[in-house]
Amino acid sequence: MVQGEPRILLVEDAEAIRLSVEVALRAAGFAVRTLPDGERLEAELARFRPDLVVLDVLLPGRDGFALLRVVRRHRAAGVVMLTARDGVEDRLRGLGEGADDYLVKPFVLAELVARVTAVLRRTGRAQPAVEVGDLVVDLDAGLALCRGERVELTVTEWKLLAYLAVHRDRVVGKAQILSAVWGYDEYSANLVEVNVSTLRRKLEAHGPRLLHTVRGQGYVLRGDRP
C-alpha cells in the first residue's frame, strides 16, 4: 500500500533540463520540487524533506559540491549528481564527498529515473508496490500483476498505469495525465482517451474494472465502483 510518493528535490539551472527531468520523475511516480540554484536549498530541505536530491555540479553561486555538503548536514537523503564534465576526478570527488551516484550529461531520462530508483532502494526509501483490488503495481520492478499474472504493457501504458497507481483513489484530470505521462503542455483529450481505453481493456482481461471514468473530471484507479 502506498504511504506517499518518494520526494525528489531537483537543483538544476538549465531550464530545459530541469523541466524534462521533472516531467520524467513525476511520470515515474515521484513527488518533485525544483530549484534553479542553491539559494533556497536549506529552506526547501526543511520544508519539503526530500528523500533524494538531484544536484547539478555547475550551478551559479554555490556549486554542486558545496550543496552536497549542505544536504549531508541537514538530511539523510540520497544524492545523485549531474555534470557536463566526464573527468574521473570530478566523479571521484562527488562520490568521495558523499554522493550516492553520478551521471554525466547528456543522459537518457530513463537512465536517470533508474539511477534515482536504485538509490532510493538502497537507502530504504523506494516506493512500495501499490495494491488496487487484485492488481499489484510494482513501481520498483516496473511491472503489473493481476491475480498473480503479469499484465503486458507498452512503455506508455506502464507510465500511465504507474501515474494512476501513485494517485490511486484520487481523480486525475486529462490535462494532468497528459503533462505527467507525455510532458505536453497543450491539451489533447484524444491522446489520453485512447491510451486509457487500451489500458482499461488490458486490465479487464485479467479481472474486474479498476480504471473508472468520472464524467467531466477525469479518471481514477480504485477497486470499488465509482
Q: What is the pLDDT of residues 6-38, one digit of tens each?
A: 899 999 999 999 999 998 888 777 889 999 999
Predicted local distance difference test score (pLDDT) of residue 127 = 64
pLDDT band at 226 (very low <50, low <70, confident <90, very high): very low
Instruction: Indicate whether 150 pLDDT > 70.
Output: yes
**pLDDT, mean of residues 190-204:** 94
Q: How far apart are CA 184 and CA 174, in angstroms?
A: 11
Return the residue matching grid coordinates 491539451: 187
Q: How far apart are CA 156 and CA 162, in angstroms?
A: 10
**pLDDT, mean of residues 122-148:** 80
User: Same domain, yes or no, for 168 and 111?
Assistant: no
Give the count of domains, the chain: 2
Instruction: Indicate whether 87 pLDDT > 70.
Output: no
51, 120 contact by CB (below 8 A)? yes
pLDDT band at 54 (very low <50, low <70, confident <90, very high): very high
Range of the domain at 146: 130-221
Phi/psi-derived region of residue 176, left when phi > 0, alpha when psi is between -120 and 50, beta in every other case: alpha
The answer to whether residue 202 sits within a structural domain is yes
The answer to whether residue 13 sits within a structural domain is yes
**pLDDT, mean of residues 99-125:** 85
Predicted local distance difference test score (pLDDT) of residue 142 = 78
Instruction: Indicate whether 118 pLDDT > 70.
Output: yes
The answer to whether residue 1 sits within a structural domain is no
User: Same domain, yes or no, for 29 and 117?
Assistant: yes
User: Same domain, yes or no, for 115 and 13?
Assistant: yes
Predicted local distance difference test score (pLDDT) of residue 110 = 80
Neighbouring CB atoms inside 10 A of 157's CB total 19
Q: What is the mean pLDDT of the chain?
A: 86
Instruction: Indicate whether 3 pLDDT > 50.
Output: no
Select the more confidently predicted residue: 184 or 214.
214
User: Same domain, yes or no, for 134 and 116?
Assistant: no
pTM for this entry: 0.60
Q: 187: helix, coil or strand?
A: coil
- Residue 53, beta-bridge partner list: 9, 79
DSSP character at residue 83: E
User: Same domain, yes or no, for 149 and 110?
Assistant: no
Predicted local distance difference test score (pLDDT) of residue 113 = 86
User: Same domain, yes or no, for 158 and 73?
Assistant: no
**pLDDT, mean of residues 191-202:** 95
pLDDT band at 131 (very low <50, low <70, confident <90, very high): confident
